[in-house]
Structure 1
Amino acid sequence: MKNTKKGIVVTLLCISMLIQTGCWDQKIYERIGFILQIGLELDQDENLIYTISIPIVSPDVEAKVDVFSTPINTLREGREEVLHVSGKSVEGGKIQHLFFSKQLAQKETMNFFDVFLRSSENSLLPNVIVVDGSPQEMMELSSKFPSKPRPSYYVNTLLENARRNFYVPETRIYNFLSSVYSNTIDPITPLLRYNDHEIEVAGSALFKGDKMVGEITTTETGLLHALMGTDGRIRYKYYQQEKQRGIEVAKEGTIVLIKDIKRKLNIDIQDIPKIDIKLDLTASIDEYTDGYNLSDPEEKKRLEAAIAKSIEEDCLILLKYLQEVGSDPLGIGEMIRSKHNWYWNSVEWEEVYRKVDFGVDVKLKVEFFGAIY
């Protein structure tokens, strides 16, 4: 009986040893350098510069992050170069931002995603961002901002707030690549600028495939989201100068918060397709300088019609610009390919897209304009 019990105990211990995790591959936090940001750019001689930021966790060091830069040919080579000087085991599983300089983004981007697709260590969740300037300089400056948090957290906060108001898109590696590989929907990414004391959300970078071809402001990004039928809250600034009640109104302004967007899109296939986009918008007045008496239903309708007309005009200007640069973030090409494949196969879409006849019809309803009315 005793031998039987001993046998059971030994068996259980052996099983426990087999299933319990060991510490042969343990990683000591203080000895690891987690890459949080990667910057890629070209120097004056067209050499590729790789920059990374790693948070400092030592209580003996006042700096927030270490920033390392090196010329490279591939991303993996850059990681190896950093290992030679960082004194830590550099890990890439926590990368949050992948910065491209505007100069590099206008040349190529796809070659730099290969390491993310091949290595399970690297997540496909980092934000893809274009920097108007040098990512290296921005990362070095932001590491020393006295009144800002750690650079990665600082940029994350900027992006979260900007995305909430649809000033920029949310573009991760996985959806950037999905758009590029589709060949029918072009990606867009956030565009950042910086100076000696802060980083600024400047708008969005437009791509044709994997190359940047243009840029739009935060206001235009909001309109682009509306044209895409994105559900969310978008602010629109309306300005008008006219005579009201015999008084010259100097550049009066109204800011509306668009809270509900319903989009209908109609495609009429001809030699040159005609595409009509209808937007049914519900909004509230966010800020208003006295011009119309909004408690009067007729004057309220006049303001709604005026803002709707202004949105229509701005949308048409935006669509014309997208055609000029050849970027199709709305996925018009994908709609043509999927619904009118016979036409898609009969034309060179890139050429036809630049000639598409767009029409925009906007209906705006203001449901709330302030408690004082």
Structure 2
Amino acid sequence: MNKLKCYFIVFISFIFLYGCVQTNILDKIGLTTLIGYDKGTEEKIATTAVIREVNPEFQSNVEVLTTENETSKGNRMEANRRLSKKIMVGQMRVVLFGDDLAKESLHYYIDTNLENASVSNSVYMAVVEGKTSSLLSYEYKDIEDIGQHIFRLIEQNVRQEYMISATLHQIAHDYYSFGKDLAMPIIKRNGELVELSGVALFKGSKMVGSLPANDSFYVKIVRDTFKVGLFETILDKEDIPSKVLQKPAEKITVAFDAIHSNRKIKLVNADTPEFDLNIDIRSRVLEVYPDMNLGDAKNVKILQDAIEKKLTKEIERVIAHSQEVESDIFGFGEKYRSSVRHSKLTKEKWHKMYKDMKVNVNVKFVILRDGVFE
């Protein structure tokens, strides 16, 4: 009898729980996959949403809708008034910002998305060259769902380490840190294509500079580690003796993949401040053009030294540019704060110190295997 009573209580509980849950039938809602923010007129926020609607026959339709309002929630209400289905943001994968808005401030938009429980912390964030509305509303010949296309574009480049990752979780961590600034990919429309064109550098919540897409390699290798990506660099003829090449050339192109990289930052002088940046890369060379005999150990050593020199020079250039715009996207400030007791470091204090910071870059490049071609 007691057992039967327990079953009855559990059954009644399920009924009440079922009644409390709001169900969302797929053919009655619109799934927002991407949101783009721009500066609107009269201090308003312009929002462009990519919304996927599914009909009862499970055929999908993509709507691109632009609205203007004083708040992001107001834009959502405005979009709902224009559609026959309730808009949901639980499937959102990407948030984009027009560059004019990014140069003004993204503080409000970072906080708004963090406070929205429906927005995943893994959503990607990026800056658009120009307005997001122009990028998203363009009718591409070979792109049916621009929201899904941009998500896959960013995701596959992040996974292959061709571009830095900037999820909401990572952006929030860097933004609220007292020793690191945030960075985001930059995308643009190029004819009928959408491409990753660079890296946006921020000082606090404002975009203050940018780097070309190829520099994402140097940014990532200083900020983190590099494991699977493919990279290509061009050496000058002075870097490689002509006698080791099959034929003379003004420039030598080397393609390699970084099987493993490791970086260590050490504070050596707190007054300047001055850091030692040591980067170790173990890699295999995939291709050298013009060809050179890598079966000879002396030639391998020449190539290693040339690549070390090139990478050191490029990393120094990228760090120097970030210092010019006072954007510590590498986290030298975090190392300073953890190494100096009672530093009382603030964002403003560190940005002033960062401009005059000295970094001693030491790159060690080791070729693990040569003669491997894809």
**TM-score scaled by structure 1?**
0.89
1:209 aligned to 2:207? no
Q: What secondary structure does 2:18 align onto?
A: coil
Residue in structure 2 matched with residue 37 of structure 1 by the alignment: 34
Question: How far off its partner does 1:19 sit?
Answer: 2.2
| Aligned-residue RMSD, C-alpha | 2.6
Kept in 2, the 8 Å contact 1:292–1:303? The answer is: no
Question: How far off its partner does 1:225 sit?
Answer: 1.3
Question: How far off its partner does 1:169 sit?
Answer: 1.8
Residue in structure 2 matched with residue 300 of structure 1 by the alignment: 300
Residue in structure 1 matched with residue 222 of structure 2 by the alignment: 227
Residue in structure 1 matched with residue 362 of structure 2 by the alignment: 361
Question: How far off its partner does 1:112 sit?
Answer: 1.9
Matched AA of 1:239: L
Q: What secondary structure does 2:90 align onto?
A: coil
Paired positions, count: 365
Question: How far off its partner does 1:226 sit?
Answer: 1.1
Residue in structure 1 matched with residue 213 of structure 2 by the alignment: 218
CA–CA distance in structure 2, aligned partners of residues 240 and 125 of structure 1? 41
Residue in structure 2 matched with residue 156 of structure 1 by the alignment: 151
Superposed, which structure 2 residues align to 1:53-68 within 5 Å?
A: 53-58=50-55, 64-68=61-65
Choose the corresponding residue for 1:133, options 130, 134, 153.
130
Residue in structure 2 matched with residue 326 of structure 1 by the alignment: 326
Question: How far off its partner does 1:82 sit?
Answer: 0.8
Query: Structure 1 residues 8 and 225 mapped into 2: Cα distance closer, same or farther (>3 Å)?
Result: closer
Higher mean C-alpha deviation, range 12-21 or range 210-219: 12-21
Higher mean C-alpha deviation, range 38-47 or range 77-86: 38-47
Query: Structure 1 residues 229 and 68 mapped into 2: Cα distance closer, same or farther (>3 Å)?
Result: closer
Residue in structure 2 matched with residue 314 of structure 1 by the alignment: 314
Query: Structure 1 residues 139 and 63 mapped into 2: Cα distance closer, same or farther (>3 Å)?
Result: farther
1:241 aligned to 2:237? yes
Question: How far off its partner does 1:23 sit?
Answer: 5.2
- Give per-residue Cα distances to partners, 1:218-247, cap 9 Å, x unaligned: 221111111124142341413322561396
1:166 aligned to 2:161? yes
Residue segments in structure 2 that go unaligned for 5+ positions in a row:
none
Query: Structure 1 residues 32 and 336 mapped into 2: Cα distance closer, same or farther (>3 Å)?
Result: same
Q: What secondary structure does 1:179 align onto?
A: helix
Percent identical residues:
22
CA–CA distance in structure 2, aligned partners of residues 11 and 99 of structure 1? 52
1:370 aligned to 2:371? yes
Query: Structure 1 residues 101 and 305 mapped into 2: Cα distance closer, same or farther (>3 Å)?
Result: same
**TM-score scaled by structure 2?**
0.89
Q: What secondary structure does 1:329 align onto?
A: coil
Question: How far off its partner does 1:146 sit?
Answer: 3.6
CA–CA distance in structure 1, aligned partners of residues 11 and 58 of structure 2? 42
Higher Cα radius of gyration: 1
Q: What secondary structure does 2:54 align onto?
A: coil
Query: Structure 1 residues 165 and 12 mapped into 2: Cα distance closer, same or farther (>3 Å)?
Result: closer
CA–CA distance in structure 2, aligned partners of residues 47 and 358 of structure 1? 43
CA–CA distance in structure 2, aligned partners of residues 280 and 8 of structure 1? 66
Question: How far off its partner does 1:338 sit?
Answer: 1.5
Question: How far off its partner does 1:353 sit?
Answer: 0.7
Residue in structure 1 matched with residue 24 of structure 2 by the alignment: 27
- Give per-residue Cα distances to partners, 1:91-134, cap 9 Å, x unaligned: 12221111101110111111123433334233333211111122
Question: How far off its partner does 1:252 sit?
Answer: 2.3
Choose the corresponding residue for 2:81, options 70, 84, 94.
84
Matched AA of 1:308: E
- Give per-residue Cα distances to partners, 1:252-309, cap 9 Å, x unaligned: 2111212111222221125312211111111111221135321111111111101110
Kept in 2, the 8 Å contact 1:33–1:89? The answer is: yes
Kept in 2, the 8 Å contact 1:286–1:369? The answer is: yes
Residue in structure 2 matched with residue 277 of structure 1 by the alignment: 277
Q: What secondary structure does 2:307 align onto?
A: helix
Residue in structure 2 matched with residue 336 of structure 1 by the alignment: 336
1:73 aligned to 2:73? no
Q: What secondary structure does 2:164 align onto?
A: coil
Q: What secondary structure does 1:66 align onto?
A: strand
Question: How far off its partner does 1:22 sit?
Answer: 2.8
- Give per-residue Cα distances to partners, 1:35-69, cap 9 Å, x unaligned: 11111012476642111111132378987411111
Matched AA of 1:262: N
- Give per-residue Cα distances to partners, 1:186-231, cap 9 Å, x unaligned: 1111111113411101122111111111111222111111112414
